[in-house]
């Protein structure tokens, strides 16, 4: 970030390429460079240079995800779904949405993540007495049949075993270290 503030785009690209999480780092630096370009509107040289740097960083993040996707689509999907430690548990897909990186949001792996997020709980309920073409025709004309043929699955892992906390309690526990629990002594 300091190299970005000192306007050293080559060093920023180099540090981004050799970081632990190059895609996440490129997304963050791209957003920062875009914001700095907007703020330095009065100085054309800085604005143009920072905008090119932002485009190049977001392009490198998209190309890296694309290379992983070509070799192993499931690995690319896991890369986009895995929570990042340094970003408060946000995933790469969420960072791309927050930072408005359209190239990554439009990527096939990210679209798969969005599709699962939006339509993952929906399933069709089968009816043996109506043919599929008639269901499609009725659903196109009337909205009410959709209610009978589309069901929403309840996610059992969310509802079972977890107690709901108030937002205040969750906020207070967010920065706190876990309590150490003593092992029960076997000697009496």
Mind listing the pLDDT tens digit of every residue in the chain (188 residues)? 777 777 778 888 888 888 888 888 888 889 888 888 888 777 777 888 888 988 998 999 999 999 999 998 888 888 888 888 888 888 888 888 888 888 888 888 888 888 887 777 766 676 667 777 777 777 778 777 677 777 777 664 444 444 555 555 554 555 555 555 444 544 44
- 77 lies in which domain range? 2-119
Q: Is residue 148 part of a domain?
A: no
Q: Looking at the domain assignment, is residue 171 inside a domain?
A: no
C-beta neighbour count of 99 within 10 angstroms:
20
Residue 173 lies in a domain: no
| Nearest Cα to Cα of residue 87 among 100, 99, 75 | 99
Q: Is residue 59 part of a domain?
A: yes
Quote the CA–CA distance of 124 and 139 in Å, as a whole number: 13
Q: Is residue 178 part of a domain?
A: no
- Residue 147 covered by a domain: no
Is the pTM for the entire model greater than 0.75? no
Can you list the positions of beta strands (E) in 81-168?
Answer: 122-124, 150-152
> Using CA atoms, how far apart are residues 24 and 46, in angstroms rounded to an integer?
24
Q: What pLDDT, on the 0 to 100 scale, is given for residue 185?
A: 44
The label of the residue with tokens 């306007």 reads: 7
Radius of gyration of the chain, Cα coordinates, nearest whole angstrom: 24
Does residue 179 lie within any of the structural domains?
Answer: no
What φ, ψ does residue 59 adopt, rounded to 5°?
-65, -40
Query: Using CA atoms, how far apart are residues 63 and 27, in angstroms rounded to an integer?
Result: 12
Domain count, the chain: 1
């Amino acid at each position: 970030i300091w190299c970005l503030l000192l306007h050293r785009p080559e060093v920023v690209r180099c540090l981004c390429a050799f970081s632990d999480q190059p895609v996440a780092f490129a997304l963050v630096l791209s957003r920062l460079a875009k914001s700095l370009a907007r703020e330095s509107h009065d100085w054309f040289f800085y604005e143009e240079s920072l905008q090119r740097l932002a485009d190049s960083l977001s392009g490198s993040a998209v190309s890296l995800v694309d290379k992983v996707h070509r070799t192993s689509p499931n690995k690319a999907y896991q890369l986009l779904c895995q929570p990042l430690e340094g970003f408060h548990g946000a995933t790469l897909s969420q960072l791309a949405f927050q930072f408005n990186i359209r190239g990554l949001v439009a990527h096939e792996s990210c679209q798969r993540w969005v599709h699962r997020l939006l339509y993952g709980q929906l399933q069709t309920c089968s009816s043996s007495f109506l043919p599929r073409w008639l269901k499609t025709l009725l659903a196109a004309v009337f909205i009410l049949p959709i209610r009978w043929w589309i069901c929403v699955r309840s996610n059992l892992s969310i509802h079972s075993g977890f107690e709901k906390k108030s937002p205040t309690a969750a906020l207070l526990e967010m920065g706190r270290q876990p309590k150490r629990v003593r092992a029960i002594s076997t000697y009496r």
